């Protein structure tokens, strides 16, 4: 792959190493959201979490990550992406060490928040550097293929890795493993990444505060619904605060000279639809990972390692798609791939709703995983490409930040709603057998996931208008000069 250096248009020194640094960073950030998922029972026993507070091991990371992504993206614009990238990785690495050493629940949760902050700083800079390194067209699409593989498949890799470390060593190594990787990334970034020129301007403090607190309030509200119910005062207060803060955020962004999220990003109907579709697809994927993991261990009685390995069919197809889909996009309209991928994900979700107390892995689980793997591989690559195509240089950081926000918030909000559905169905189950109660809850959660999948499919159909394919030429693949080459996963 050929590439251009940040700000000069000259070839990048060792572009493959640059891409590797970006991909490993994204993998580390993504899988950290799931690598501890399988270890939850061990964490609960070791640090004496209550059943209700255990979910905060995941939620503390999601809240900090999703809430601060926009601020992290803007920091890269104003301070230089290389500098911000290295800072984020350093914070993430230190937090991972502290989390692995945590002697009690409080310190582990504090470390998870710090990890989320580091990830929010590093992730937008990583995607922006990818955009600035590779020109729009085949080279960028190939790089995005690998980036999308990591983003969509990192969760399943985290499940496998978490199962291995928990079974063979300790749950603490799910956090310790980030330390040597982070140190290598910092040294590699210093050698191969080129600093971007800081943009003139200032931090949009009001926008950063209202967006961060608004997103955090909404995620907190959905998380608390599962325990307190929809009518709980704290839930209603969280939702009300979230809405007020996000409305204030939009009003602020319309008036400030250097907004943290330029609203002009949403003037493109294609980009706005891509963000919304990504939100729904990620919600579907997070629901599948979380509840299928519970099903594999609680109903099929697989060990943590076996439950992680059970996701390998999905991971294998995602890897294959990362090599094949970028080549297909050069010959086939990406909209057709997105539509086909969304149909496969919807069919896979329908299949998962049929799981019961006596289902078998090979007969009832492998099929949905194959559909999810093929579908996600087809949809994520062209979807990410559409979301960042044609972005002006001064907006590249904000566009990258929004894409990461959509992924993280889509996962957190989507899973929060599904956990509420799961909890309600479990409480209303007519059975007293724990295994059957779990099946009832998982079934209801997959029905909720099916709603996400169906709405995202409808969004893609409306956006790409397949009924026009037989009356017009396919949409051309974008091959123009990158929006980010002169200054810039």
Collect all residues with Cβ–Cβ distance below 8 Å to 302 and sequence separation of at least 6: 296, 310, 361
Please report which helix (H) or strand (E) contains residue 218, including its range.
helix 205-228
Contact 377, 322 (CB under 8 A): yes
Q: What is the CA radius of gyration of the chain?
A: 21
- Report how far residue 384's alpha carbon sits from residue 221's, in angstroms, rounded to the nearest whole number: 28
pLDDT at 103: 92
**Phi, psi (rounded to 5 degrees) for 249:** -60, -45
- Report how far residue 446's alpha carbon sits from residue 170's, in angstroms, rounded to the nearest whole number: 31
Around Cβ 361, how many Cβ atoms within 10 Å? 14
Q: Which of 200, 120, 125, 206 is nearest to 394 (CA)?
A: 200
β-bridge partners, 4:
11
Q: Measured in whole angstroms, how far is the alpha carbon of residue 262 from the centre of its chain? A: 22
3-state percent helix, strand, coil for the chain, nearest multiple of 5 = 75, 0, 25
Collect all residues with Cβ–Cβ distance below 8 Å to 306 and sequence separation of at least 6: 163, 296
Residues shown for the chain: 489
Task: Tell me the pLDDT of the chain (489 aa) as tens digits.
Answer: 555 544 444 344 566 788 888 888 888 877 776 777 777 778 888 898 765 566 678 778 877 887 787 778 778 777 888 888 899 999 999 999 999 999 998 999 999 999 989 988 888 777 777 777 776 667 777 787 777 677 666 766 777 788 888 888 888 998 998 999 999 999 988 888 777 777 666 777 788 788 878 877 887 787 677 677 778 899 899 999 999 999 998 899 888 877 877 888 888 777 888 888 888 888 888 888 888 888 998 889 888 788 888 888 888 887 787 778 777 777 777 778 888 899 999 999 999 999 988 899 999 999 999 999 889 888 887 887 777 777 776 676 677 667 777 877 777 778 778 877 887 888 888 888 888 888 998 999 999 999 999 999 998 888 777 666 655 554 444 433 333 323 223
pLDDT at 153: 66
Which sequence spans correspond to the domains of the chain?
A: 13-194, 205-257, 264-467
Q: Which CATH superfamily is domain 13-194 in?
A: MFS general substrate transporter like domains (1.20.1250.20)
Collect all residues with Cβ–Cβ distance below 8 Å to 28 and sequence separation of at least 6: 92, 178, 181, 182, 185
Q: Which CATH superfamily is domain 264-467 in?
A: MFS general substrate transporter like domains (1.20.1250.20)
- Longest CA pairwise span in the chain (Å): 68
**Phi, psi (rounded to 5 degrees) for 125:** -65, -35
The domains spanning 13-194 and 264-467 adopt the same CATH topology? yes
- Report how far residue 150's alpha carbon sits from residue 315's, in angstroms, rounded to the nearest whole number: 10
**Phi, psi (rounded to 5 degrees) for 11:** -60, 140
- Read off the pTM: 0.75
Q: Which of 119, 409, 152, 177 is nearest to 288 (CA)?
A: 152
pLDDT at 10: 39
pLDDT at 215: 77
pLDDT at 184: 92
Indicate the DSSP class of residue 55: T
Q: Which of 308, 283, 16, 218 is nearest to 134 (CA)?
A: 16
**Phi, psi (rounded to 5 degrees) for 55:** -60, -20
Collect all residues with Cβ–Cβ distance below 8 Å to 312 and sequence separation of at least 6: 156, 160
Concatenate the DSSP letters of all residues of 405-422 into one string. Answer: HHHHHHHHHHHHHHHHHH
- Write out the two tokens for 246: 């996000």
- Report how far residue 423's alpha carbon sits from residue 197's, in angstroms, rounded to the nearest whole number: 50
Helix, coil or strand: residue 4: strand
Q: Which of 37, 58, 448, 64 is nearest to 280 (CA)?
A: 448
Contact 321, 144 (CB under 8 A): no
């Amino acid at each position: 792959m050929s590439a251009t250096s940040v700000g000069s248009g000259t070839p990048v020194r060792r572009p493959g190493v640059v891409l590797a640094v970006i991909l490993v960073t994204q993998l580390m950030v993504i899988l950290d959201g799931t690598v501890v998922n399988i270890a939850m029972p061990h964490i609960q026993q070791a640090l004496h979490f209550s059943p209700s507070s255990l979910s905060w091991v995941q939620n503390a990371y999601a809240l900090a990550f999703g809430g601060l992504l926009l601020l992290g993206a803007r920091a890269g614009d104003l301070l230089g992406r290389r500098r911000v990238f290295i800072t984020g990785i350093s914070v993430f690495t230190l937090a991972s060490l502290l989390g692995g050493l945590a002697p009690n629940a409080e310190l582990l949760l504090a470390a998870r928040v710090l990890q989320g902050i580091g990830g929010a700083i590093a992730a937008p800079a990583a995607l922006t550097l990818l955009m600035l390194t590779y020109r729009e067209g085949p080279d960028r699409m190939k790089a995005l293929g690998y980036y999308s593989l990591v983003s969509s498949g990192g969760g399943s890799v985290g499940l496998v890795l978490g199962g291995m470390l928990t079974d063979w060593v300790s749950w603490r190594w799910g956090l310790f493993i980030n330390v040597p990787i982070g140190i290598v990334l910092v040294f590699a970034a210093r050698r191969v990444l080129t600093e971007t020129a800081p943009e003139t301007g200032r931090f949009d403090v009001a926008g950063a505060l209202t967006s961060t607190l608004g997103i955090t309030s909404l995620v907190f509200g959905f998380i608390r619904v599962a325990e307190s119910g929809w009518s709980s005062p704290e839930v209603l207060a969280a939702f009300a605060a979230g809405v007020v803060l996000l409305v204030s955020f939009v009003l602020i962004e319309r008036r400030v000279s250097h907004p943290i999220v330029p609203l002009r990003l949403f003037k493109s109907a294609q980009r706005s639809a891509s963000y919304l579709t990504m939100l729904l697809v990620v919600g579907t994927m997070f629901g599948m990972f979380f509840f299928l993991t519970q099903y594999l261990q609680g109903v099929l009685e697989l060990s943590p390692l076996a439950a992680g390995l059970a996701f390998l069919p999905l991971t294998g197809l995602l890897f294959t798609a990362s090599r094949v889909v970028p080549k297909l996009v050069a010959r086939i309209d990406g909209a057709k791939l997105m539509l086909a991928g969304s149909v496969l994900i919807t069919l896979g979700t329908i299949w998962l709703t049929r799981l019961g107390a006596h289902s078998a892995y090979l007969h009832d689980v492998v099929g949905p995983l194959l559909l999810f793997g093929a579908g996600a591989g087809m949809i994520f690559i062209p979807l990410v490409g559409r979301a960042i195509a044609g972005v002006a240089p001064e907006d590249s950081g904000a566009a990258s930040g929004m894409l990461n926000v959509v992924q993280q918030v889509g996962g957190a909000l989507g899973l929060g709603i599904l956990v509420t559905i799961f909890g309600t169905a479990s409480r209303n189950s007519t059975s007293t057998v724990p295994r059957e109660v779990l099946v009832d809850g998982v079934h209801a959660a997959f029905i909720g996931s099916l709603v996400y999948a169906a709405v995202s499919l409808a969004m893609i159909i409306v956006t790409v208008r397949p009924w026009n394919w037989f009356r017009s030429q396919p949409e051309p693949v974008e091959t123009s000069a990158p929006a980010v080459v002169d200054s810039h996963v």
